[in-house]
């Protein structure tokens, strides 16, 4: 399972009110759910280009399973 990211023009306060938290990255702030994720190292965003797809990849965030400690 992966965690998806997107670009947004929403204000930081709006995203925080919706239950997101954030970490800075080289490409800008990474907003992710405050619950349901495991922080696995430094959060980084990479721009990936493949012949069939151009996308952003996020390292350092994993979806949590029900019995795992989240936000750590």
pLDDT of residue 3 exceeding 80: no
Residue 24 lies in a domain: yes
Take residue 29 and report the two structure tokens written for it.
């702030």
- Residue 70 is assigned to a structural domain of this protein: no
| pLDDT reported for residue 17 | 92
Q: Please indicate, yes or no, if residue 42 is contained in any of the structural domains.
A: yes
The pLDDT of residue 2 is above 70: no
pLDDT digits (tens, 9 = 90+) for 16-53: 898 888 888 777 788 888 888 888 888 888 888 989 98
Domain count, the chain: 1
Asked if residue 32 lies in contact with residue 21, where contact means CB atoms within 8 angstroms, the answer is: yes
pLDDT at 7: 67
DSSP string computed for 3-70: ---------HHHHHHTTEEEEEETTEEEEEESSSEEEEEEEEEEEEEETTEEEEEEEEEEEPPTTS--
Residue 24, CA distances (Å) to 45, 51, 53, 62 in order: 10, 29, 25, 17
Band of residue 4 on the pLDDT scale cut at 50, 70, 90: low
């Amino acid at each position: 399972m992966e965690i998806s990211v997107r670009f947004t023009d929403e204000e930081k306060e709006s995203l925080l009110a919706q239950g997101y938290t954030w970490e800075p990255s080289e490409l800008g702030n990474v907003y992710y759910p405050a619950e349901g994720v495991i922080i696995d190292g430094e959060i980084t965003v990479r721009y990936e280009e493949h012949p069939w797809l151009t996308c952003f990849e996020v390292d350092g965030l994993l979806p949590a399973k029900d019995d795992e400690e989240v936000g750590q």
